[in-house]
Amino acid sequence: MTGLQIVYVRCEYRDNPIGLDTRKPRFSWLLSSDSRHALQSAYRIQAADRADFSETTLLIWDTQKLESDRSVLIAYEGEPLKARSRYYYRVKVWDQEGHESDWSEIAFWEMGLLGLDDWTADWITPDASVIDPYADAVFLMRKDFTVREAVRNARLYVTSLGLYELELNGLRVGNAEYTPGWTSYKYRLQVQTYDVAGLLCEGNGNAIGASLANGWYKGYLGWKQQRNLYGDTRALLLQLYIDYEDGTTEVIRTDGSWKSNTGPIRLSELYHGETYDARMEQFDWSCHGLDDTKWAAVSLVSHTKDKLIMQESELVRITQRIKPVSVWKTPAGETVLDMGQNMVGRLHFRVEAPAGTQITLQHVEVLDQAGNIYSGNLRTAKQTVQYTCKGGGEESYEPHFSFQGFRYVKLEGWPGEPSLDAFAGHVIHTDMEPTGTFECSHPLLNQLQSNIVWGQRGNFLDVPTDCPQRDERLGWTGDAQVFIRTAAFNFGVAPFFTKWLRDLKADQREDGSVPFVIPHVLGETDYGSAAWGDAAVVCPWTVYLCYGDKQVLEEQYDSMKAWVDYVRSEGEDPYLWNNGFHFGDWLGLDAKEGSYIGATPKDLIATCFFAYSTSLLVKAAKVLGYSEDAERYGHVYEQIVGAFANEFITPSGRLAAHTQTAYVLPLIFGLVDAPVKERLARTLVDYVEEQDGHLTTGFVGTPYLSHALTDHGYHDLAVRLVQQEDYPSWLYAIHQGATTIWEHWDGIKPDGSFWSDRMNSYNHYAYGSIGDWLYRAVAGLDMDETEPAYKRILFRPRPDSGLDYAKASYQSVYGKIRSEWYKTGGGLATYEFEVPPNTTATALLRGLKLEAVRVNGELVSEAAGVIEAGEQEEMLQLRLGSGSYRISQLHTSDAEWD
């Protein structure tokens, strides 16, 4: 292979997406090369409405050869795109030597419905005179139709008020769960697209059926037994386009000709579970020829269609199936399954029992001191499934419109002794692409990484929820912003957060304040807390930083700016935020007795985040070319920093607060310079040492504490802090059996008792933000933020982390990045790095000398791919081109590595 070659291409982060409504889809590609330091110097993209790209094919877009190193998210600039049309594209590139690649494989994207004029269907719901619209039962709606001849293509576009599942000719349509997903329904409602050509029966009768449940739209939300927050009527909207080989098109749509009924799902709620009576099943209800004369008519619903948008993020799916590890009798005589992992999803089971046998499953996260199930922390959420058998042989079941957060399941009514083989846990979350890995020589830290990943999977179910088990499961903004950098390492979350941020912008008030949860379902005063509302700025900036997605900054810029302006208008001083409600350092261990809010002054936290968000707004303005805003808000930032110093820093350089979090925030947000910085860092160390190397921080301070110590020369203390195994620490929870991240440091106390039932989730990802420190500070996989998306990689491995080895890998938008180090004896460490094509990396290796290392067995000066090499501040600095590198030491002067 000569020069660069294209491995694969993507459109809007996806392979061959269908149902787009963006008029300027964006293209990205991955490159490979057998040469080191391979860079792209130019590219060419062609797009057409047919796939052959022959000489006679009319192109709708051809960039020609463009001199550019860009290979990520390049926007289409061709002819206007049409609804429901498929387009094809291919890419070729040139390297820095002028070598031209082959064309990539031909890929496609397909447009969805692009506006109100494309919708001719009616919203429908069962006839209220026959079927109670407020009943708990899931509605069924169906229609027969005929496919008259050979089908070339068939697309189904569907959404609902409530949650839907579709069947076509008795088969499930697609594999998505909890569609149409949760958005700010007052402003935005997603539409899903399905390719159903393979499900149609040519020349025969066909039927389509839809199940419709309450879901987020009208089911229970929050802890106050609220219902019908968006509306009180479930409804379906659907258009099926059948394109025939003869060039004609037929449209099957929701209208007054459909029929309705109820079926075996007698109740289905996200929090409470599902009640299912298999005796009421009618297997052919979505098949042609059903006698539906006793089914009710449907009514047309007057509801807008101008809020419809095509699906934006990845769909929610079953991503894994796990088997229970044991079943036993508790001291209370309960039969309990242990899944071996606190998971989110549903339990699937197979059973054979007489008709009318009722089986009840209760889902919980932990066991109590005596070894019985503990459900107190669920509050009003029942998490209970009731299944009534139909008899006559083996039957299988899992819930449809409810999900549970659980490790343990109590079985009641099970016939005989349950077999583990009869059960499977179906893990469900937004189907994000796994991107990051971390491993080290410390087994408990590896379990911590597993807990972080499982916590993210369990809580990234269409929105970034705080917890998946109790009567809450809301998109808390503070939790999302403290975790987003860790989240973006573990999984590809750009589409996920882009969707959620659009809801944040939609729900943001005219004065710029941001609700505590997105989508907003709380009260009219639940807006505007520091560190929570700052998600409006922190999250879009982090998406841009990790993925190079400039569009998210463009879309959210007004929202970011409005938040900063809101904060500026709130305080008595325009450069201090010293009033209003704030969550403070939520759940900090230095809180007063009976309080959830830590001891750090709330105005100090608020002003620190005011400064931080303003600094990010300035960066965003510069990226977008808004020079006037950059200058204006740059001045605002300087004034905030000055006001912070006047308000909180004494003339002698002391901080007028005495908590770990109080010292962490100004250090990590850069609000102080030397020598005040050094003094604050030393005092922070003192405060940690006073706790015998433990933390006292809550949601606000914890994400930054270890970084603050490492960045200011106290990495050894950060290591000690993270590797503590007694309370309070991350590893303490693991000793207590945690397989996800807890909400409270002492969710289970050493004696086995619990923190308060009121708020005690065992799957709550906020403290999983420590993952960011593991990946960046221990394994050393980081980026130079002057170029987003790891275009310029920064390797800063720390073999002085009390470990024998550590390694991390990350599938960036440019390709796989890997940073690994391991001890080889005698105080020596070996490093391995992998740099993808079209990027460069800088490796900063502590305590090494040029003459004392070999790169891939060669002298540094002779090693292929090493662009520059030097020493500075007792650090070996290597600038590396793409390729794999093994850097070994001949000797070291750093005896502390022993």
Q: Closest by alpha carbon to 125, among 155, 156, 164, 157? A: 164
Do the strands 828-835 and 883-889 form a parallel or antiparallel pair, or are they unpaired? antiparallel
Q: Does 5-110 match 116-263+283-313 in CATH topology? A: no
Question: What is the distance between the alpha carbons of residues 386 and 521, in angstroms, rounded to a whole number?
Answer: 29
> Count of alpha carbons within 13 Å of 826, Cβ hemisphere only?
8
Q: What one-character-per-residue DSSP string does 847-897 give?
A: T--GGGEEETTB-GGG-TTEEEEEEETTEEEEEE-SEEEEEEES--S-GGG
Q: Angle at Cα 364 formed by Cα 360 and Cα 368, nearest 5°?
A: 115
**pLDDT given at position 203:** 81
Is this prediction's pTM over 0.95? Answer: yes
Provide the b/e sequence for 486-497 (b: ≥16 CB within 10 Å). bbbbbbbbbbbb
- Report the top-level CATH class of 5-110: mainly beta
The set of residues, in sequence order, having a beta carbon less than 8 Å from that of 599 and lying 6+ positions away, is 585, 588, 590, 591, 592, 658, 659
CB atoms within 10 A of CB 868: 11
Question: What is the distance between the alpha carbons of residues 471 and 70, in angstroms, rounded to a whole number?
Answer: 46
DSSP state of 592: P
Q: Closest by alpha carbon to 170, among 317, 288, 276? A: 288
Q: Are 200 and 145 in contact (CB under 8 A)?
A: no
- Domain range 474-777, its CATH number among 3.10.20.30, 1.10.3720.10, 1.50.10.10, 2.60.120.640: 1.50.10.10
**pLDDT given at position 896:** 39
Largest CA distance in the chain: 88
Residues of the chain with pLDDT under 50: 1, 892-898
Block residue for tokens 């964006």: 26
Block residue for tokens 């959830």: 596
DSSP state of 833: E
Question: What is the distance between the alpha carbons of residues 78 and 68, in angstroms, rounded to a whole number?
Answer: 18
Question: What is the distance between the alpha carbons of residues 385 and 349, in angstroms, rounded to a whole number?
Answer: 12
The set of residues, in sequence order, having a beta carbon less than 8 Å from that of 192 and lying 6+ positions away, is 19, 157, 158, 159, 174, 176, 179, 180, 311, 315
The pair of structure tokens assigned to 610 is 């005011």
Homologous superfamily, domain 317-430: Galactose-binding domain-like (2.60.120.260)
Q: Are 536 and 529 in contact (CB under 8 A)?
A: no
Give domain 116-263+283-313's CATH architecture.
Sandwich (2.60)
**pLDDT given at position 225:** 86
DSSP state of 757: G
Instruction: Determine phi and psi for 662, rounding to 5 degrees.
Output: -60, -35
The pair of structure tokens assigned to 497 is 């957060």
**pLDDT given at position 897:** 38
Q: Residue 790 in 3-state DSSP?
A: coil
- Report the top-level CATH class of 779-897: mainly beta
Block residue for tokens 């900090």: 588
Block residue for tokens 């003094």: 679
Active site members: 472, 743
Phi-psi region of 473 (alpha: psi -120 to 50; beta: other; left: phi over 0): left
DSSP state of 149: S
**pLDDT given at position 172:** 97
Block residue for tokens 């989110």: 344
**pLDDT given at position 873:** 84
The pair of structure tokens assigned to 708 is 């603050």
The set of residues, in sequence order, having a beta carbon less than 8 Å from that of 445 and lying 6+ positions away, is 722, 723, 731, 774, 803
**pLDDT given at position 767:** 98
Q: Domain extents for the chain?
A: 5-110, 116-263+283-313, 317-430, 474-777, 779-897
The pair of structure tokens assigned to 692 is 């015998």
Provide the b/e sequence for 187-226 (b: ≥16 CB within 10 Å). ebbbbbbbebeebbeeeeebbbbbbbbbbbbbbbbbbeee
**pLDDT given at position 204:** 79
Task: Encode pLDDT of 307-339 as tens digits.
Answer: 999 999 999 999 999 999 999 999 999 999 999
Q: Closest by alpha carbon to 614, among 555, 574, 564, 662? A: 564
Q: Residue 272 in 3-state DSSP?
A: coil
